Structures are given as structure tokens and as C-alpha cells.
Structure 1
Amino acid sequence: MSTIDSETRKYKSLLNTSTILNANLDLYQLLPLIMLYSKDLLEAEASSLFLLEEKDGFLYCEVALGEKGEIVQKYARLEPGQGIAGWVAKEKKAIILEDAYTDPRFNPALDQKTGFRTRSLACVPLYIADKVIGTLEILNKSDNRSFEASDVEVLNSLSEMAAIAIKNAQAHETLKKRVLELRLLYEFEKLTVAEKSIHELGNWLLDKVLEFLEAKAGTIYIADPTLEVLRVLAARGIPEEAIHNIQVPYGEGISGWVAKEKQSLLIQNLDEDPRYDKSAKYKFEANSLISAPLLFRGELLGVISVNNKYSGFAFTHADLEMLGAIANRLSVTIKNANLFHKVLDTDRELKRAREVMHKILPSSLPYVGGLEFGVQHIPYDNVGGDFYNILKLDENRSAVLIADVSGHGLSASVVATVIHTVVSTFDSETLSSPSKFFTALNYALYNKLAGNFLTAFYGIIHTGTNTLSYTNAGHNPPILYRKSEGSSLHLETKGKLVGVIPDLFFEEYVTSFQPQDRLVLYTDGLTEHSNTDRTRRYSEDLLSLAVRNHSQTHSAEAAETLIKECRTYCHRSDFEDDVTLLIVDRV
């Protein structure tokens, strides 16, 4: 084959490679592809891709193909300027060597560890804009040939394509991980409010973290501040019979270091890290690890560590940031569990909580001209997080509020008490606007609910104009039944949970509320009720049907009937959550 034909083939291959690389947004599939094309296109025996660890300033081998590639990937960690890849990254210049051992910049240490003999090589920097993100290196041209200047040109072209593809894939990976992180935290929030034990939460969370980070092994430790040791709460990758016997003193090993220093840690190569105990009884399969402390206002509650990626790749700072966010949420949960379980064991405190909740709820429904009310309130455990209120604002306007604090029992009732106190401080202007009401409530409660959140519906009924203005903050949409039309309308909005995200704005809606209309507000304890084996569940559709069937019944009697029908349908009287049902009739 002529030189021209060979060069033409190379550049055709580059065009095909560019298309394939930019069509692939999975970073862990993309990087080996880059190396495979580099190796095959330039007829090399081996290739390696080094990425620059931006925070710590060193280069680590993310992918190595060819003979002894796994060993290269395991041990290659270079400081800027060290070795050929380190020199290329520091100087931002390509290099080609016919005989590597004659160049003082070449570091033979990897050859000695792997048994691979480097003869010739070519190495180019990887750029994103003007910033070096790593290096691309090919080793030993086949048939004992040497690399030429034309090979470096092709390698440079390939590195430009690779850098763009890596940038796109990293952006995609970051977005995907952020979505996964939010989903995980949301699911964890729902499980937390179900008041599971801390061991159940720990095991569930560890499994989810490993799934999202695509890792095989990990451990959640709980701190024992008296003995200054870490004990295992949940673990994967450690024999189950050994879990209860493991104690890690503060300062010893990786997790002990994280506990003592109260700092997160990312390690690309454990064998090169002095904190790793190589004589430890239980070994890690892979060489990369991330670990984060569980801290609550500076107090060490434990440590979470994850290692052994399925892909064999190193963890990134994006992985560590995700683990840190999870660690923060878990810390709050552990602290709350410790506090609330102490309170739950005290009968006197339960009695006080019941007394407080009775004061929060209206002792009797107010008289409002043009309106009639019916209510059923059934706390799960004598006290709960559901509450409601009816406020007469003036001669024509009345406000209705129904709210559900996440969870149930004493912890939810404590939060409900706090929220009731906050609402009692609102002025008439705030109470007269559903949007302002929730904006003010969210501002007052953000970051102050100790891991809980609030869903609520707040509406203002104007009997003079026959209208209902309302805002829904993540609550079950109330049912507005129009008797004259025989139709039901679900008052759905896009409102967010209260107390979770700062500086929220809540949209306000207005609909007609004519004589003979009925507004039915409820909490999810009603529509999530089921029989013992979960094969029969009450639903929003069944509730809507019941509202229609009993539209002629007085509001107070209708509220009792709807609760009764729910229990009858599920063949079960005891609810598993707080239940509140409030009916408002326009008469």
C-alpha cells in the first residue's frame, strides 16, 4: 500500500471515529473506544489515556489497552512533569520517541512493575478549549517500526475529537448523576418519614447508593464517640457474619482517617495511599474509593465509604459530591432518629404532645354564613402531623387550610406544632393571599424542619363573589364537586413541598364556588389505605365516586360516611397513616 493510500485510509478512519465518538454519551463506554481507535488506527501494541485530577493536580491512568494494560491502569499515577505523560501535560506539547530509554524524561518504573518493554512512543495533550485535561499515548508500533511525524498528526486529530467527546460525555454524566441524586434523596425522604428503623434505612440507602454509583461494595459506619471507634451499620462486600465484629478506631485506615479529620476523601489508587492498610483482613477488589463523614453541626455521627466500581474506572469528584449530599441527608436522619426515639419512649411526652395537638386543631367548627363544614380527623398514633383550620377573614371571606407533615407520630406532631405557631404570626395581608401565605410559610420553615417537609392546600372562599382562590403546595388535589352539573374537578397545581427549597414562588388560581358546590379536602392517609396484604387499596377515583354518591348528604354526615366506606372497602379499620377529611359546602 502506498504512503498516500495509507494516509487516506487513516483520515477516513478518523472521520468514522469522530462520528462514533460523538454519538456516544456514556463516558465508561467512550474512553475505551478512544483508546481502541488510537491503538488500532496507529498500529500500536498498547495505548493509555491519562486524565488530570483537577483538584489534586496529578495524572491518573483511566484506561490502558494492550499487554499488561490492567497493571498500568492500576499503578500509573503521575505528578505534573513526571514521566512522558506528566511532561506532555505540563508543557502542553506533543512528543515522539524512537527509543524511549534514551530519553531522561521517560520513567521505566511502570515497565519494571508490568514486565512490558516500551520501545517507541508518541504522546499528545488532550485539550478542552485551552485547558489540558489529560494525555493520549501510544506505545510500540507493530513490526518493530518507529512512530513518525504523520502518526503524531493523526494522534493530535484523534485527541481533539476525543476531548470534545469527553466533554460532552462528562456534561451528560454530570446531569445524569444530578438527576439520580435528586431521585435518591426524594425516595430516601419518603422512606424516612415512614419512620423505619435506622438499620432499615441504612441498608436501603447503601443499596441505592451502590446502584447509582455503579459500585459493588460499600459500608455505612456509626460513630461511637465514647470509645472513638466506628461500628458497621450496613455493609456490602464484607461477610455478613463479620459485620458485627468490625470496629475501626478513629485515625486508622481510610474510614478512620475520614472520621478523625472529618473530611471527604477520593482515592484513585489505594496501593499508593499510605492510609490504606494493606494487611487488613478484608481487601478491596478495586483500587479507587470515595468516603465522606456523616456530620451534624460538626458532630461526627459516622462515615460512608464506597469502592469497587463495576467498570473498573476510578471515582470522580462528581461521585464524591453526590456521596457528600447523601451523607448530609443521612446525618440529619440519624440525628433525628436518635432524638425522636428517646422522646417516643417517654409516655409523659406523648401525653403532652396529645394535649398540644388538641389545642392546634379547632375545638369546634366556626359558623360562617353561606358555608357548612364536615370534618374527620384520625391521627395514626394519638398524635400526628395532619392538621386543618378554618379562618374567618372578614364578612365575606373565609380561609380553609389542610396540611400534612411528612411522617406520623410524635415527630410529625412536633413539627405540626411549630408550623401552627408560625402561621399564627401571619398578618391579614398574608392570610388573604394563598400565594403570599405559602411563600411566607416556606421562607419561615426552610431548613428548620429537621429533615421533614410539609404538603398543604390553602384556599380562600369569597361568598360575595362565589369564588375560590387557592394554592396547592404538593398536597393531594382537593375535589370540587359541582352538584348543578354533576361533575367533579380536581384542583391540581404545580406547587412544591414547603420547607425543602428556598425562595419558592407559589402560583395562585381562582375558580367559581357556587351555591350547592362541595369542596372535599383530604390527606393521603385516606387514599393510600389498603387491606392487610396490600391487594386492595382505596384510591382517588373511589373517593371521587363516593363524593358524587353522597352529594345530597349533609357535610358532617358525608364526612363520616366517606371514612366508613373507605374502611369497609379495604376490610380494615386501622389506618397506617394520619387521616384528615374536611368537607366545605357552599349553601
Structure 2
Amino acid sequence: MKRGAHMPAASRSAPESPPQTDLPESAAAAELEDLRTRVENLSRLIDVTVLVSSSLNLQEVMNRVMQMAKEMMDAEAASIMLWNDELECLEFELTVGEVGVDTLKTIRIEKGQGIAGTVAETGEPMLVADVSKDDRFYGKADEATGFETKSILAAPLIVHDGIVGVSEVLNHKEGRPFTNHDLELFATFCRQVAVAVENARLHENEMKQSLLDQQMKMAAEIQRSFLPAALPEDEGKRFEVDAFTRSAQEVGGDLYACEVLPDGRVGLALGDVSGKGVPAALYMARVVSEFRMMCSKGGPPSEVLTALNAALARGKMRGMFVTFVYCILDPATGELELGNAGQLPPLLAGASGGARWMGSASGPPLGMIPTTVYQPDKISLEPSDTLLFYSDGIAEAQDTSGEQYDPHLLVDVSEAGTGARRVLSHVLESVEAFSRGASQADDMTLVSISWEGGR
């Protein structure tokens, strides 16, 4: 054909007719209803996303998202099981439907056990269209509640690649089995649920920790109130008293007391309660209260310890005891009476520069054997003699490599000065220089008393 010639009309292609898209009215209505359902489900997924950031109350979050799950999946019941790290099992935390969660609280599901346990083990969502045909179905929950499970959707709650729980919806209300489309939607929903639950759990833990911190601070303040607000000073400068204490935790079990007795003598005590933390602090408060009442009568230290031991042994704080040393100094004569209940021997630093451990009579800690009778010990102090008491946190202080302080250094350091304040200061500086930069496992307490002679 020549350039520019026209193709005969008969040989030209006729334009294609558009494809027929008309659907029967019933099919169009069904498609529209399906589309409407998908939009509603998407809206619920958005609601969960909003909920993730709108509420941090764990129970409220779980209740609301499970109500959403039950409505979205058109299910008869829904539940959340959370993973218990300590017991290594799933536990029912919340249910929505006819059965309350209290009925299911005793049921624990291990990994690989039942549908939920299998999901927890594999980390994959599961659809069981008919539980009667699946051997993995664990019917204990049905037995406990009387509920009849027919079909299950189960999905893991995963946060940071770790499973924190499993969520399930049971029995479609229309009586039909759940579908793969239902499973896909529920699994997507549960990814958001996991974030909401984890955020709420983290917030709850932070609140609990904050409350615990506040309670510990209050306990520490209460504990400090049981220690002397000020140490006695003698107008005649016949004696000097000093003390130092530091707890390894917010509250501790070390204690000290200093009392001027009605006859003018001075009582000084140091104790170290077994254990740490709040139980030790509570026991410490009881020990101080009982001791103050008993020592106010001015009896010899051995008799005070015997009575205090009997009182503590009658108490109900099983397993608790306290090592305790108590002395009474007569400022007029320098005579010192001593009673020791399992406490480390005190150090006597003399004016001549020598230092040595003192005290030969020591009984068991207070609160262990109710019939114990403690023996007295007496020391005649020379002018400028200083007696130093210390808890085992001093003798067992550790450096950054884990090595313990050599208790014999206490003797050497105590020789460096005279007077209660100077001796205590030298010992404390030595221990702190040794342990600097290392966290300590035990409380540290020092108390000292020196006699400058009767004047």
C-alpha cells in the first residue's frame, strides 16, 4: 500500500466494549457489607492504637482491648493470659464474656500445653475451627467453668521478640467456625494489644517502684528517729562520746544508743541486727525501744542484756537476732562495766599510744536462747583511754577487688590518737580509704567513748 493510502473500513478494528461489571443486587450488598465490616475493623485497630497511648492502667487497658476483641471478632468470649516468668507458665489475667476470671485463676498452662501453650511455644497465631477434632485442645478451663469451647482464635502477645502472653477469642456468635481472615485480623489486633499491655505493665511497675522508694525513705526517716538526735556532752569535760553509722541499703539493721542515766553515769550501746532492709529495720526499732526502757533503771549491763534477750526471744519475729554490746561509764571514777552479746570485742586505745581488744565475757546474740544469763566484765580506765565499738561492716569492709579490710589495722589506727572523736575519725578514714569506690554489703557503725579523768 502506498504511503498516505487509507485502510478499507471493513478491515479496521472495531473499538472493544467495556467489561460487564454489573453484579446481582444480593452479591453487591454482600460485598458492601464486607467492605463496611473491614472499615469497622480498621477503625477498631486504630482505637487500640489510640488506647496504647491514652491509658496506663493495666486492668483498664486489658478490659477495654478484650471488649474490643470480643466485639470485633463477634465472639462469645475473650481472654488474656500473661506469662509468669517465675512459675514459667501462662496464667489467666482477664476474661470477657459469661465466665469470670476468678474461676480460672488456679489454672496454669505450660509452653506446649493446649492451644494457648502451643502459641506461647511457637510464637505463631493459631486457628482451630473445631476443637473436638484437635488433640491439642486443653479442656480444663471448660471443665472449671461449664463453658463449651467450639472454635478458637489464639495469638501471641509479643514485645521485643519476647512473648508476654497469649490472647484468645472463643466461638463465633453466628455458630460458624472462625476463618483465616478472622485469624489475620485478630493477630494484627494482638500486636497492638501487646504494646498496650506492656506499656501499662511498665507504668505499673514504675509506680510500684516509686511507691516502694517513698516507703523506704519514710522507713529510713523513722529508723533515724530511733537513733540519738544528739550525743551527750559533759560540762566538766570528763568524758567524750562520738558515733557514726551508714546503712548499706536505704534502711539497715545497725543501731547505737547513748543514755545519761539518772545517777549521772553514761550508757553506750551498739547493735547489729541479722538481715537487711525493712525486716531488720523493724527489729532494730523494737530492740532500741526495749533497750531504752530497760537501761533507764540503771541496772548493770549484764542484767540489762539478760532481760532484753528474754523479751526479744519471746517475740514473734522468728529467725531474727541482734549482736549487742552495752557499757556504762562512771565519769567520776573511770570504772566501766561491760556486757557483750555476740558483738565483736571493743578496742581500748590508751593515752600511751597502745591499743588492744578488750572484754573476755561474751554470750550469744540476743533473741536466740531465752534462758541465757550474760556475764559482767569490768574495766578501770586510765585518763585519756578510749573505748571503740564497731559493727562487722567495719571489720569486713571490702575494696574494689573484693578483698576484706584487715581487722588488725583497727588496732594500728586506734593507736594514732586519743579522745573519742579523734580515734573514731582515724578508724573511719582508714576504712573509707580502703573501701573507696566499692559498694558495701553491710552497714557500718562506730561508737566511741573516752574518759579524761575525774575532775
Distance 1:473 1:427 in 2: 15
The aligned counterpart of 2:411 is 544
Superimposed CA distance per residue, residues 376-431 of structure 1 (whole angstroms, 9 cap, x where no aligned partner):
111111321111111111454111110110122222111101112222332644x4
RMSD across aligned positions (CA): 2.7
The aligned counterpart of 1:561 is 426
Distance 1:228 1:507 in 2: 58
Distance 2:214 2:107 in 1: 33
Distance 2:324 2:210 in 1: 26
Shift of 1:571: 4.4
Structure 1 counterpart of 2:300, from 402, 414, 433: 433
- 1:494-573 to 2 correspondences below 5 Å: 494-534=362-402, 536-548=403-415, 550-552=416-418, 554-572=419-437
Distance 1:576 1:427 in 2: 31
Shift of 1:487: 4.1
Q: Calculate the TM-score normalised by the size of structure 2.
A: 0.51
1:445 aligns with 2:312: yes
Q: What SS does the aligned partner of 1:426 have? A: helix
Relative to structure 1, the CA distance from residue 531 to residue 344 in structure 2 (aligned partners, 3 Å threshold; closer, same or farther) is farther
Shift of 1:513: 1.5
1:374–1:558 CA contact under 8 A, matched in 2: no
1:362 aligns with 2:250: no
1:393–1:432 CA contact under 8 A, matched in 2: no
- 1:363-382 to 2 correspondences below 5 Å: 363-368=229-234, 369=236, 370-382=238-250
Distance 1:353 1:451 in 2: 21
The aligned counterpart of 1:575 is 440
The aligned counterpart of 1:491 is 359
2:395–2:405 CA contact under 8 A, matched in 1: yes
Superimposed CA distance per residue, residues 131-173 of structure 1 (whole angstroms, 9 cap, x where no aligned partner):
xxxxxxxxxxxxxxxxxxxxxxxxxxxxxxxxxxxxxxxxxxx
Q: Calculate the TM-score normalised by the size of structure 1.
A: 0.40
The aligned counterpart of 2:268 is 400
Distance 1:343 1:415 in 2: 23
AA matched with 1:451:
G
Distance 1:510 1:560 in 2: 26
1:460 aligns with 2:328: yes
Relative to structure 1, the CA distance from residue 397 to residue 407 in structure 2 (aligned partners, 3 Å threshold; closer, same or farther) is same
AA matched with 2:217:
K
Superimposed CA distance per residue, residues 50-105 of structure 1 (whole angstroms, 9 cap, x where no aligned partner):
xxxxxxxxxxxxxxxxxxxxxxxxxxxxxxxxxxxxxxxxxxxxxxxxxxxxxxxx
Shift of 1:371: 0.8
Deviates more, 1:508-517 or 1:482-491: 482-491
1:383–1:409 CA contact under 8 A, matched in 2: yes
1:470–1:509 CA contact under 8 A, matched in 2: yes
AA matched with 1:444:
A
Relative to structure 1, the CA distance from residue 496 to residue 227 in structure 2 (aligned partners, 3 Å threshold; closer, same or farther) is same
Relative to structure 1, the CA distance from residue 531 to residue 366 in structure 2 (aligned partners, 3 Å threshold; closer, same or farther) is same
Gapped regions of structure 1 (runs ≥ 5): 1-198, 200-225, 232-341
1:374–1:557 CA contact under 8 A, matched in 2: no
The aligned counterpart of 1:586 is 451
Distance 1:570 1:491 in 2: 28
- 1:237-276 to 2 correspondences below 5 Å: none
Distance 1:586 1:474 in 2: 25
Identity %: 28
| Number of residue equivalences | 249
Distance 2:368 2:288 in 1: 18
Q: What SS does the aligned partner of 2:293 have? A: coil
1:419 aligns with 2:287: yes
Shift of 1:569: 2.4
Distance 2:249 2:390 in 1: 18
Shift of 1:486: 2.5
AA matched with 1:364:
A
AA matched with 2:406:
S
Distance 1:578 1:485 in 2: 29
Distance 2:440 2:295 in 1: 36
Superimposed CA distance per residue, residues 293-333 of structure 1 (whole angstroms, 9 cap, x where no aligned partner):
xxxxxxxxxxxxxxxxxxxxxxxxxxxxxxxxxxxxxxxxx
Distance 1:394 1:551 in 2: 31
Distance 1:557 1:487 in 2: 14
The aligned counterpart of 1:476 is 344
2:347–2:355 CA contact under 8 A, matched in 1: no
Shift of 1:228: 9.9
Distance 1:396 1:386 in 2: 26
Superimposed CA distance per residue, residues 505-564 of structure 1 (whole angstroms, 9 cap, x where no aligned partner):
000111111211010011000110112332x3213211111101x224x53244233222
Shift of 1:494: 2.8
Q: What SS does the aligned partner of 1:472 have? A: strand
Q: What SS does the aligned partner of 2:294 have? A: coil
Superimposed CA distance per residue, residues 264-290 of structure 1 (whole angstroms, 9 cap, x where no aligned partner):
xxxxxxxxxxxxxxxxxxxxxxxxxxx
Task: Find the structure with the greater CA-based Rg.
Answer: 2
Q: What SS does the aligned partner of 1:425 have? A: helix
2:339–2:361 CA contact under 8 A, matched in 1: yes
Q: What SS does the aligned partner of 2:244 have? A: strand
Relative to structure 1, the CA distance from residue 433 to residue 351 in structure 2 (aligned partners, 3 Å threshold; closer, same or farther) is same
Q: What SS does the aligned partner of 1:424 have? A: helix
2:262–2:296 CA contact under 8 A, matched in 1: no
1:374–1:583 CA contact under 8 A, matched in 2: yes
2:355–2:412 CA contact under 8 A, matched in 1: no
- 1:140-219 to 2 correspondences below 5 Å: none
Q: What SS does the aligned partner of 1:388 have? A: strand
1:531–1:537 CA contact under 8 A, matched in 2: yes
2:248–2:440 CA contact under 8 A, matched in 1: yes
Relative to structure 1, the CA distance from residue 427 to residue 517 in structure 2 (aligned partners, 3 Å threshold; closer, same or farther) is closer
1:387 aligns with 2:255: yes
Q: What SS does the aligned partner of 2:271 have? A: strand
Distance 1:568 1:487 in 2: 21
AA matched with 2:316:
K
Give the ranges of 4+ consecutive aligned residues of structure 1 lying more than 4 Å apart after TM superposition: 342-345
Distance 2:232 2:386 in 1: 17
